[in-house]
Amino acid sequence: MCDNRAVRIVFIGTLTILAIFLLSQAVNTLGNVGRPANPATDTITIQGDGQATVPPDVARVSFTVENTAEAVVDAQAATTKQANAVLDFVKEQGVADKDVKTLSYEITPQYSYPNPCTSGFECPLYIGTPKVTGYKVSETVQVTMRDLTAVGTLLGGLGKLSVQNVSGPSFALDDSTAGYDAARADAINKAKIQANLLAKQLGVHLGKIVNFSESSGNRTYPMYAMESSAGGASVKSTPSIPTGENTYSASVSITYEIR
């Protein structure tokens, strides 16, 4: 009886191990369903270049307001007063609060370097301590315009308010990826057309896609011009700002199985 029990135990243990092995093999087989046993070797790779020309929907303009005074508080007060007047004007153009942001706020000491030498005589290298004569306080602001017809009015008004370092307008898409997405779609479509044409010429059939890569290209922004009257006493205070269109480009590479 002991021998029969031992045989049964060995037999049951063997069946258990076999069942576990078969289960693991089944799981592994199911996990590889649809996967080729070996990497595809019969393939063709197609390149596609696409472009999309899209009109901009926003314009970004930045400017600086700065004032100098002997005391920091006086320079700050003057800059704040001027900046508030400029921001009031900006809001009058229909610009929302979310589209106005400060890029920087700086307080910079102003120095003088007295010359210790009498004019007309050779001077040694001056190594004295420079003297602080005042402070310059500047604030740089960026405005996003969504009404592109009002960009010229904004620029003209900024000039009347005596701001410094006006930069822009930079015309772009509010959704920065939309232009590239459209260019990539064009590139993929062109690659598919070329792949079908090549397959027909080679006498093969396209299988599934086994590899894909992409790269973005450059975005070109339109040039703009400011109109002015020539030689006359009056000059247009509101510049004419053509918005043009932006061109986006993309390149893709698609590899197909062939059979």
Mean pLDDT of the chain: 82
CATH number of the domain that 104 lies in? Answer: 3.30.70.2970
Last residue of a domain, one of 142, 172, 202: 172
Q: How far apart are CA 96 and CA 28, in angstroms?
A: 59
For residue 106, being part of any structural domain is answered with yes
Question: What integer pLDDT is reported at residue 102 of this predicted model?
Answer: 95
DSSP three-state, residue 248: strand
pLDDT tens, position by position, 11-37: 676 777 777 777 777 666 665 555 555
What is the pLDDT confidence band of residue 96, given thresholds at 50, 70 and 90?
Answer: very high
Q: Of all residues in the chain, what percent carry a pLDDT higher than 70?
A: 76
For residue 197, being part of any structural domain is answered with yes
Consecutive H or E run containing 89: helix 72-92
Question: What integer pLDDT is reported at residue 155 of this predicted model?
Answer: 92
Q: Both 203 and 161 in a single domain?
A: no
Q: Write the CA distances from 256 to 12, 34, 37, 48, 129, integer angstroms.
A: 51, 16, 17, 14, 73
Of these ranges, 18-22, 48-52, 110-114, the one predicted with the greatest mean pLDDT is 48-52
Q: Is the pTM of this model over 0.75?
A: no
Q: Write the CA distances from 4 to 9, 16, 18, 109, 191, integer angstroms.
A: 9, 18, 21, 101, 72
- Containing structural domain, residue 86: 58-172
Question: What integer pLDDT is reported at residue 4 of this predicted model?
Answer: 65
Number of domains in the chain: 2
pLDDT tens, position by position, 228-250: 333 333 345 677 888 888 899 99
Last residue of a domain, one of 151, 172, 193: 172
The sheet with strand 246-258 has its strands ordered as 43-54, 246-258, 206-216
